[in-house]
Amino acid sequence: MTALALAGSAPSARADQPTPHAPDQVTEGRTLISIPDTTALSPSERAILALERGRSAAIARQDTAWLSTLYAPDFRGVAGNGIRIGRQDLFRVFGRDDPVSRFLIDELAIRSYDGAATVTGRLRTLAATGEVTAESRYLHVYVKRETRWQLVAAQATVVPQPAKR
């Protein structure tokens, strides 16, 4: 069962309440993440997966101190609306989150290279009813600097929602 089907299978559940999930899914903060099969992941890719999970939890806690260790000082991104965004701007966006919304990452792929890694995924925003209210695809770029991975770039692309009938 996909994470979306699982989220939609309990229409009486509220987004501000925990819901049961499949064994290949974890909840980090307010985000339900479908974890890819990790058997073929390299140690670097496993480390990036752990950082992505920690990122979701830190955003929910509004833990900018931890996020500041993950996001490089020279981080640059492009938001789903096409606006260029720096680290501090992004942290302000994280602080504006609607605390009732829940998130679903139901596609996640990690690829590592010599000293770099990419993460691609699909993020869906769920209303309290479980309805998908927004969807985007994203790319995160990590670089290993000295002994730790840092997120140096990100790109989001909004996926248009079908018109309601």
What residue spans define the domains of the chain? Answer: 36-133
Quick one: pLDDT band at residue 1, thresholds 50, 70, 90? Answer: very low
The pLDDT of residue 18 is 45
Reported as a single tens digit per residue, the pLDDT across 58-93 is: 988 889 999 999 999 999 999 999 999 999 999 988
The pLDDT of residue 127 is 86
Is the torsion defined by CA of 42, 44, 48, 53 positive or negative? positive
Q: Which fold has domain 36-133?
A: Nuclear Transport Factor 2; Chain: A, (3.10.450)
Q: Give the CA-trace dihedral at 59, 147, 140, 38, to 10 degrees.
A: -90
pLDDT at 148 over 60: yes
Residues 54/70, Cβ–Cβ less than 8 Å:
yes
Enter the pTM of the model: 0.79
Nearest to 33 by CA among 14, 12, 64, 54: 54
Higher pLDDT, 71 or 26: 71
pLDDT at 95 over 90: no
Greatest Cα pair distance, the chain, in angstroms, is 53
The pLDDT of residue 8 is 34
What does the pLDDT average to over 93-108?
A: 82
- The stretches of the chain forming alpha helices (DSSP H) are 3-8, 43-61, 64-70, 87-95
% of the chain with per-residue pLDDT over 90: 50
The pLDDT of residue 59 is 87
The pLDDT of residue 31 is 79
